[in-house]
Amino acid sequence: MVSSCFIDYVLSFAIYFTWICLNYTQNIAGIFTKTLLVLFVGALAWAYQAIQPPPPKTCGSPDGPPITASRIKLRDGRHLAYKEHGVPLGAAKYKIVKVHGFDSCRLDAVPLSPELVERLGIYFVSFDRPGYGESDPNPKRTVKSMALDIEELADQLRLGSKFYVIGISMGGQVVWSCLKYIPHRLAGATLVAPAVNYWWSGFPTNLSNQAYQQMLPQDQWVLRVSHYAPWLTYWWNTQKWFPSSSVIANSIDIFSSEDRKLLMKILSTRNHAAQVRQQGEYESLHRDLIVGFGAWEFSPLELDNPFPNNEGSVHVWHGDEDRFVPVMLQRYIAEQLPWIRYHELPGAGHLFMVADGMWDNIVKTLLVGEK
């Protein structure tokens, strides 16, 4: 028979051993918990750093590109770079502000024929939108601020009480802003292959979804991130895990067959490509995506006719083979806004405006109604 002393000894040892095991387990659990916490904090710090865009290399700053363009100083202290074309301002009958598109700048001018410029007396000014070329970035850029920048540019250059605006692609979105916020300053407007925000109110859900699905999957994700998680836009377009914007990457896959022919013409004459993104991609390309495809405070489909007495006109030009902006959305906008003069070009892609003679047709139609 086992003595009670021995039983007490065994029980005591078992209790002591259990206490040691429990204490050791708690220590291990504590170490494991602390390790996880450190790793979690480290991951958060890495993620925060990864989504932060680098500061722009502003023109004229110690580490930035030099200033070579004519510029105006805006009320908020920013500078806007511009380039004048055509007849001298004092001799001009028609004054046009041209708004460039995505990944472009003031140097991508409208190639009007000299004969048309002289015959009609056309002056036009192209400018770098904020963050592009030599215009200062605007971290506070909004849909409305772009229209006000244009109005201030026109005032400082003394274009007069009224002027025309022409916007290309993403620049077309800026023209919608002008029609909303400064219609009293406009003599007329033209939107050339204008970009469309799939989240504008007024689009039937099935229509916007159908158009959205026509984009490359990688571009669908780019716009989805820009709209729903704009703070991730920089990371998404610079990470290497998933395909990012085909447009930013200059992928040939997004161009139609007609566009590819015209693309060679553009590339053969474009010698300023390096200037477009020279201040950094975030405040130019990425900011464009955030503003252009974010939540707008108005929808172009709800605009009233800015020229109810036919004192001016608004034109939209679009190719039915445009693979950047689905034509079905432009058709719907034109149907909802009967005061829009809609020009659809069969077989044309997104770059149709650079075809020989096309810009002359677009500008003549705006200014004098010729086709």
Among 172, 129, 109, 143, CA closest to 324: 172
For the cut 90, the answer to whether the pLDDT of residue 66 exceeds it is yes
| C-alpha pair distances (Å), 45 with each of 42, 68, 75, 87 | 5, 39, 37, 56
Query: 37 falls in which pLDDT band (50, 70, 90)?
Result: low
| pLDDT tens readout for residues 341-356 | 999 999 999 999 999 9
> Crossing angle, helix 205-212 and helix 327-336, to 10 degrees?
150
One domain for residues 322 and 363:
yes
- The count of domains in the chain is 2
Residue 145 structure tokens: 């601020």
Q: By percentage, how much of the chain surpasses pLDDT 90?
A: 74
pLDDT number for residue 143: 96
Q: Domain containing 137 — which CATH number? A: 3.40.50.1820
One domain for residues 173 and 306:
yes
One domain for residues 108 and 224:
yes
Q: Is the pTM of this model over 0.75?
A: yes
pLDDT number for residue 264: 81
- Asked if 127 contacts 159 with a C-beta cutoff of 8 angstroms, the reply is no
DSSP string, 106-129: TTS-----HHHHHHHTEEEEEEPP
Task: Locate the DSSP E strands across 300-362.
Answer: 314-319, 340-345
| pLDDT tens readout for residues 236-277 | 999 888 888 898 988 888 899 899 988 887 876 778 888 999
One domain for residues 210 and 345:
yes
pLDDT number for residue 1: 40
Residue type, 47: A
**Mean pLDDT over residues 25-51, rounded?**
58
One domain for residues 36 and 183:
no
Give the span between the Cα atoms of 315 and 369, in whole angstroms.
11
pLDDT number for residue 286: 96
One domain for residues 43 and 152:
no
Give the span between the Cα atoms of 330 and 297, in whole angstroms.
20
For the cut 80, the answer to whether the pLDDT of residue 3 exceeds it is no
**Mean pLDDT over residues 296-320, rounded?**
96
| pLDDT tens readout for residues 77-127 | 999 999 999 999 999 999 999 999 999 999 987 889 999 999 999 999 999
One domain for residues 127 and 239:
yes
Q: Show the domain range for 10.
A: 1-51
Q: Kindly give, in sequence order, each residue whose CB lies less than 8 Å from that of residue 264, ignoring residues fewer than 6 positions away.
A: none
One domain for residues 323 and 238:
yes
pLDDT number for residue 251: 86
One domain for residues 35 and 140:
no
Residue 210 structure tokens: 């159908």
Give the span between the Cα atoms of 106 and 124, in whole angstroms.
11
Kindly state the helix (H) or strand (E) to which residue 173 belongs, with its residue range.
helix 170-181
Last residue of a domain, one of 51, 71, 90: 51
pLDDT number for residue 275: 93
One domain for residues 37 and 116:
no
Task: Locate the DSSP E strands across the chain.
Answer: 70-73, 79-86, 94-99, 122-127, 163-168, 186-192, 314-319, 340-345
For the cut 90, the answer to whether the pLDDT of residue 9 exceeds it is no
One domain for residues 231 and 345:
yes
pLDDT number for residue 48: 57
| pLDDT tens readout for residues 132-176 | 999 999 999 999 999 999 999 999 999 999 999 999 999 999 999
What's the distance, Cα to Cα, between the start and end of the chain in Å?
A: 117
One domain for residues 150 and 1:
no
| pLDDT tens readout for residues 182-221 | 999 999 999 999 999 999 999 999 999 999 999 999 999 9
> Crossing angle, helix 170-181 and helix 143-156, to 10 degrees?
80
